[in-house]
């Protein structure tokens, strides 16, 4: 058996659509609805609470005993001389848009999993839960040269198509990739903003490589009218590089050797990673969206359950 064939079957390195579909049965405790467990990261000090589905205006009618006085339409009441209330009903469902980074920068991991695998599994778990709670699911799966857009739909077939695209792109990743053109993170955020106009759930699963000042404007725009959650995928090495470490790193175009015994080089790499995280956290506080940290050191499901306040997540 060739090395490529052997590694392609290792779920720490590649995951296909069948594996991603199987995650639905193991994530039933997770919820992406507004009411969250007390220890959920979405209830954090700087995290905005999920707004859930919006409201549709149904009718204007005269006030009846027991009606909430906050629904009184004071303009109509003043004009008619009789109390009137505005009646709303909750939207039947709402769209969820999952943006999943499968660029070559995500094909990296020094612990247990590749970042691309953690992102794919986390997105699949979210997709299963969105559909199970009665909402529409869709997303954008993007690599360096390929991008698959799936408009949100409330059908199991839509989930399968999304996971099929995700699995195919994940399994196409390999260390020898040399893409001639690249899809930038900002391009994907712009496309998401065109799809998610208002009251959608937008989740981004990425290492946020290529973050720029323009990203702030796009994230602010998405967070203003939607529920935005960023899942920041990282490897423990980004916070501490052991001096004995030797790495060959590629951006898909150029390749360099990293020697962690070179303290200046090691400090520059660590500072760059810390700066990216600090920037995300600053925007999180400013615009009220949560950043959920995920690592390559353990399964995505265990991490998400723990971060969302469920005992089922193992340390």
Q: Do 260 and 241 form a contact (C-beta atoms < 8 A)?
A: yes
Q: Do 246 and 257 form a contact (C-beta atoms < 8 A)?
A: yes
Residue 54, pLDDT score = 57
What distance in Å separates the CA atoms of residue 131 and residue 158, rounded to the nearest whole number?
10
Residue 7, pLDDT score = 46
Q: How many residues does the chain have?
A: 315
Query: Which residues, 6 or more positions from 282, have their beta carbon under 8 angstroms from its beta carbon?
Result: none
Name which of 93, 102, 44, 121 is nearest 304 in CA terms.
121
What distance in Å separates the CA atoms of residue 172 and residue 68, rounded to the nearest whole number?
56
Predicted confidence pLDDT, tens digits, the chain (315 residues): 344 444 457 999 999 999 999 999 888 878 887 777 777 887 754 455 566 655 556 678 888 888 888 888 999 899 999 999 887 655 667 899 999 999 998 999 988 999 999 999 999 999 999 999 899 999 999 999 999 999 999 999 999 999 999 999 999 998 777 776 789 999 999 999 999 988 899 999 999 999 999 999 999 999 999 999 999 999 988 766 555 555 555 444 555 555 556 566 556 666 777 888 899 999 999 999 999 999 999 999 999 999 998 865 543
For the segment 47-102, what is each residue's pLDDT rounded down to a tens digit? 555 666 555 566 788 888 888 888 889 998 999 999 998 876 556 678 999 999 99
The torsion of the CA quartet 11, 14, 20, 22, rounded to 10 degrees, works out to: -30
Residue 264, pLDDT score = 61
Count of Cβ atoms closer than 10 Å to residue 71 Cβ:
12
Q: Which contiguous run of DSSP H or E holds residue 153?
A: strand 147-153
Name which of 106, 70, 64 is nearest 205 in CA terms.
106
Q: C-alpha distances in angstroms, 203 versus 8, 15, 41, 153, 263?
A: 27, 20, 14, 16, 36
For the segment 198-220, what is each residue's pLDDT rounded down to a tens digit? 889 999 999 999 999 999 999 99
Long-range contacts, stretch 126-129, CB < 8 angstroms, 24+ apart: 126/32, 126/96, 126/98, 126/203, 127/96, 127/98, 127/159, 127/162, 127/163, 128/23, 128/24, 128/27, 128/159, 129/27, 129/30, 129/31, 129/32
What distance in Å separates the CA atoms of residue 73 and residue 288, rounded to the nearest whole number?
30
Take residue 53 and report the two structure tokens written for it: 């589905």
Residue 38, pLDDT score = 72
Query: Which residues, 6 or more positions from 238, have their beta carbon under 8 angstroms from its beta carbon?
Result: 269, 270, 273
What distance in Å separates the CA atoms of residue 297 and residue 114, rounded to the nearest whole number?
9
Take residue 289 and report the two structure tokens written for it: 């969206």
């Amino acid at each position: 058996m060739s090395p490529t064939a052997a590694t392609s079957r290792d779920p720490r390195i590649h995951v296909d659509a069948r594996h991603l579909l199987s995650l639905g049965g193991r994530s039933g405790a997770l919820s992406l609805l507004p009411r969250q467990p007390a220890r959920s990261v979405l209830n954090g000090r700087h995290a905005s609470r999920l707004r859930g589905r919006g409201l549709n205006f149904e009718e204007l009618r005269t006030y009846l005993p027991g009606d909430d006085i906050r629904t009184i339409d004071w303009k109509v009441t003043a004009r008619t001389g009789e109390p009137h209330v505005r009646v709303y009903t909750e939207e039947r469902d709402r769209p969820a848009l999952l943006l999943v980074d499968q660029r070559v920068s995500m094909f990296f991991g020094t612990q247990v999993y590749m970042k691309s695998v953690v992102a794919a599994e986390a997105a699949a778990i979210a997709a299963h839960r969105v559909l199970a709670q009665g909402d529409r699911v869709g997303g954008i799966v993007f690599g360096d040269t390929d991008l698959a857009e799936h408009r949100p739909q409330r059908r199991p077939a839509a989930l399968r198509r999304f996971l099929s695209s995700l699995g195919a792109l994940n399994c196409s990743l390999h260390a020898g990739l040399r893409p001639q053109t690249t899809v930038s993170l900002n391009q994907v955020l712009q496309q998401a903003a065109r799809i998610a106009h208002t009251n959608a759930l937008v989740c981004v699963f990425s290492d946020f490589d290529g973050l720029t000042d323009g990203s702030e404007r796009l994230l602010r725009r998405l967070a203003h009218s939607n529920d935005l959650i960023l899942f920041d995928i990282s490897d423990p090495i980004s916070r501490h590089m052991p001096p004995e470490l030797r790495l060959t790193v590629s951006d898909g175009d150029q390749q360099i050797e990293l020697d962690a015994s070179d303290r200046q080089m090691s400090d520059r790499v660590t500072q760059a990673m810390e700066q990216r995280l600090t920037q995300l956290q600053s925007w999180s506080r400013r615009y009220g969206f949560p950043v959920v940290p995920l690592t390559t050191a353990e399964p995505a499901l265990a991490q998400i359950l723990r971060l969302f306040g469920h005992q089922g997540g193992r340390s």
